[in-house]
Amino acid sequence: MTEEKSQAQQTIATTLGLEDFNDNPLFTNKRGLWIALGGIILSLMIFLIVQARQSKPLQYQTEQVKRGDLVVTVSATGTLAPVTEVDVGIEVSGTIKKVLVDYNDRVTVGQVLAMLDTTRLEAIALQSSSALASARAKVLQGEATLQEAKIKLARLDQVRELSGGKVPAPYDLDTAKATLDRAKADLASAKAFVEQAQGAFNVNRTDLVKAVVHSPINGVVLDRSVEPGQTVASQFQAPVLFKLAEDLTKMELLVDVDEADVGVVQEAQEAMFTVDAYPDQSFPAKITQVRFGSQTVDGVVTYKTVLAVDNSALSLRPGMTATALITVNKKSQVLLVSNAVFRFVPPEIVSNEKKSGSSLLGAMLPRPPRSDSKPPIASASAKEQQVWQQGEQGLKQVTIVKGATDGIWTEIVSGPVEAGTALVTGTVASE
């Protein structure tokens, strides 16, 4: 049995080329054999680690510069509304007797929309009419009293003149003059009461007229908030009974433009918008006003912008939420490049000196992570950008001047590139 084990060890040693060391006691037992095998395996692992750390060859993805049209848009959301919308209210209080229109009804100027029960208002108007008549009668009475006082004073003056100043007594003459002045004051007061009664009568008569609600415009009834028998009170604020839209064939879209985009949004710019009711259809619009006043909602500053909308088909309705794309810049047949070109930064190339200085111990020991790319190169101008071309000697840096962008493509204003020039957008490691 011992002889068989010795032969097996001799065979292994011969296979590994260690037959010259059979006399060495290190290889004459199992322990020496396993140490030799472990050394070989460790050397193989170190070799594989070193090979794995070698840089893999890189292949570059490129995108060609092309010539085409560029459309820059600004997105904004808002709601549709009629150009002219009127809230019809009532200035008097009472009970609604009749409602003569309903939702979507077309109305004309002066058409009766609703009526109040005027029983109480008629009674008040009758009272004011009676008070006016009474005040006018007092004016007539005052005029008669004034005339009487004038005649009495004239008679006393005549008597005094005929008597040579002996009669009447001075007291009687002064009393007659005071009576005349009092009559004049009473007549003026009576006339003032007439004006007051006339004003009250006019107010009550106006309330009686306003108890009937008329349409102020030609349009369509959008909303109705009253029913027959309902009581309305207008002591503090006129209640709104109807909401009318003048012409639904012409509407306006009110959108909120972000403060970052309002600088490029101007009047007369074209836009397209969509609504949830017609997701596959776009509607044209045109900016008519960009308001200077701002509004802040949840810390976001926006500016209200008005767009004119043609709704001849009456497919759009007030209150619909719309998403608009406003065309702020349009260029034809300009050089365009994908924005991915500007995001590419070439990988760091390890120098040959570092490779030659690498040691076996360095390959085995862990190293801190290093950046795989160089920091982007700063440009003196915000419009200048460094891009990269693939040449025979490797990557070549090219400086271009950027123009307008739509977020996907960017215009090239100037630079040593032309249509068909391939610019690097990324890398792909070869297997």
Tokens of 252: 């306006």
- The reply to whether 132 falls in a domain is yes
What are the tokens at 228? 């027959």
Residue 108 placed within a domain: no
Q: Do residues 128 and 160 both lie within one domain?
A: yes
Q: Are residues 295 and 342 in the same domain?
A: no
Q: Nearest-5° angle of CA 104, CA 105, CA 109? A: 125
Tell me, yes or no, whether 144 and 197 share the same domain: yes
Q: For residue 420, is it left (φ>0), alpha (ψ between -120 and 50) or beta?
A: left
pLDDT of res. 262: 94
pLDDT score of 409: 92
Picking from 34, 2, 36, 41, the residue whose alpha carbon sits closest to that of residue 17 is: 36
Amino acid 360: pLDDT: 45
Whether 102 is covered by a domain: the verdict is no
Where do runs of H (alpha helix) occur along 59-118? none
Identify the domain boundary among 188, 210, 232: 210
H or E element, residue 422: strand 422-429
Between 56-65, 68-77, 102-111, 225-234, the lowest mean confidence (pLDDT) is in 56-65
Q: Give strand ranges (E) for 190-318.
A: 212-214, 219-224, 231-232, 240-245, 250-258, 270-275, 278-297, 300-310
Give the bridge partners for 236, in sequence order.
none
Task: Quote the CA–CA distance of 197 and 137 in Å, as a whole number.
Answer: 12
Q: At what angle do helices 30-52 and 2-15 cross, to 10 degrees?
A: 30
Q: How confident is the model at residue 370 (pLDDT cuts 50, 70, 90)?
A: very low
Q: Would the pLDDT of 26 be above 80?
A: no
Residues 123 and 203 both lie in one domain: yes
Structural domain ending residue among the three candidates 210, 232, 252: 210
Look up the CATH number of the domain holding residue 319.
2.40.30.170
| List of residues 6+ apart from 150 with CB closer than 8 A | 180, 183
The pLDDT tens digits for 59-76 are 888 889 999 999 999 999
8 A C-beta contact, residue 187 and residue 144: no
User: In terms of Cα–Cα distance, which of 71, 70, 73, 403 is closest to 265?
Assistant: 73
Both 168 and 191 in one domain: the answer is yes
* Same-domain check for residues 10 and 28: yes
- Enclosing H/E stretch for 325: strand 321-338
215 belongs to a structural domain: no
Q: Is residue 110 part of a domain?
A: no
Give 375's pLDDT tier (boundaries 50, 70, 90): very low
Residue 216, domain member (yes or no): no
Residue 315 shares a structural domain with residue 381? no
Say if 104 falls within a structural domain.
no
Helices (H), 72-118: none
Residues 413, 392, single domain; the answer is yes
- Tell me: do 346 and 409 sit in the same domain: yes
Instruction: State the total domains in the chain.
Output: 4
* pLDDT at residue 19, rounded to an integer: 53
**Of residues 90 and 354, more confidently modeled:** 90
| Lowest-confidence region among 163-177, 220-234, 315-329 | 163-177
For the chain, give the percent of residues with pLDDT over 70. Answer: 81
Contact 99, 113 (CB under 8 A): yes
In a domain, 367, yes or no: yes
Contact criterion met (CB below 8 Å) for 224 and 99:
yes
What pLDDT, on a 0 to 100 scale, did the predictor assign at position 10? 57
Q: Which two tokens stand for residue 91?
A: 């200035």
**Residue 318: how many CB atoms within 10 A of its CB?**
18
Which residue has tokens 């107010």?
203
- 343 with 323, same domain: the answer is no
Kindly write down the DSSP assignment for every residue of 382-401, as one continuous string: TTEEEEEEEETTEEEEEEEE
Report the mean per-residue pLDDT for the chain: 84
418/358 same-domain check? yes
- Is the CA virtual torsion 157, 159, 162, 163 positive or negative? negative
Question: Which pLDDT value is given to residue 43?
Answer: 82
Domain range enclosing 151: 119-210
Residue 227 predicted with pLDDT over 60:
yes
Same domain, 381 and 424: yes
